[in-house]
Amino acid sequence: MFETLSQRLRAAVDRLRGRGRISEEDLRSTLREIRVALLEADVNFEVAKGFVQRVQEKALGKAVLESLTPAEQILTVVYEELVEMLGGEARQPVLKSEGNLWFMVGLQGSGKTTTSGKLALFYKSKGRRPLLVAADTQRPAAREQLRILGERIGVPVLEVADGEPPETTRARLRQHLTFDYRDLVIVDTAGRLQVDEALMEELYRLKVALGPSETFLVVDAMTGQEALSVSRAFEERIGVTGLVLTKLDGDARGGAALSARYVTGKPIYFAGVSEKLEGLEPFYPDRLAQRILG
Ligand code: GDP
């Protein structure tokens, strides 16, 4: 992912290298190329516009053009803005010594169930005692998928029953925790192929009943601009505290994923980088920006 964007951004800046002097016109044409590169990579229009504006302001403000190495300085500004767009400092989710309940939401196929398993494995390997909750009240197959994942990683899975009311799920969870101590509960919720009212209502009721400490929206990085409207809908109806981007190992253009943090204003905590359960990494904006700029 991001290969084309990466090549295009580097090419835009490389054209300035080796020039003794760079005029404002040179800078403007480079910024145009950067803007087109972002848009073609599927970065959200507003995000691309703001990005280029800030690079321009910084470049002019810092007297970059008069410096001895203008191309390098512009590259630095582009790098700084990319890091900013991706969220700035790397962030970790809140993890108390106990009583953590993480709610996983997202569309069907976004990678929610896989990510729930990945998170459980990730924190188990750090000495936590996770419990997975398969909370899809409509699709037994989804619950079975999580049960199988749980068996593979040695993490228990509490399954809801068909049509189970949220209050019953809360009571069963409480009861489970009285005989099996767990410090991190990860709730895999129902997904749909599209955002719909019934889904949002059901999720909201479950969220209110369980009172999660974090709500993660799982966003498939392969799904272009649609990912952004989905993110907004979940943010408005359910409220999310952070994002997980999945399938960053895919070959899509990826720009929508790059805009997700900016559009939702929520930090990206993790990235899914393979189908395997080990394929989850904490998200580092600076590392991804470095990778993109090569
Ligand atoms: P859910 O419907 O949201 O629960 O999605 P699933 O967890 O079932 O994932 C849908 C598909 O995406 C499955 O085939 C997963 O193996 C795959 N998947 C999930 N995360 C990743 C990832 O980070 N990289 C890759 N390549 N595939 C992923």
Per DSSP, the three-state class of 113 is: helix
Q: Which DSSP symbol is given to 186?
A: E
**pTM, entire model:** 0.93
Task: Band the pLDDT of 151: cuts 50, 70, 90.
Answer: very high
Look at residue 157 and tell me whether its pLDDT is greater than 80.
yes
**Pick from 89, 177, 104: which is nearest to 135 by CA?**
104
180 is in an annotated binding site: no
Alpha-carbon gap, residue 86 to 89, rounded angstroms: 9
pLDDT value of residue 272? 96
**Pick from 42, 34, 36, 41: which is nearest to 58 by CA?**
34
Q: What is the pLDDT of residues 255-265, one digit of tens each?
A: 878 888 888 88
pLDDT value of residue 14? 85
Per DSSP, the three-state class of 135 is: strand
Closest CA to ligand 1's atom 9: 111
Ligand 1 centroid–CA 274 distance in Å is: 8
272 lines ligand 1 (CB under 6 A): yes
Q: What is the pLDDT of residues 107-139, one digit of tens each?
A: 999 999 999 999 999 999 999 999 999 999 888
Ligand 1 centroid–CA 171 distance in Å is: 30
Alpha-carbon gap, residue 227 to 222, rounded angstroms: 9
242 is in an annotated binding site: no
Which ipTM score applies to this complex?
A: 0.99
Phi, psi of 236 (to 5 degrees): -70, -45
106 lines ligand 1 (CB under 6 A): yes
Task: Band the pLDDT of 2: cuts 50, 70, 90.
Answer: confident
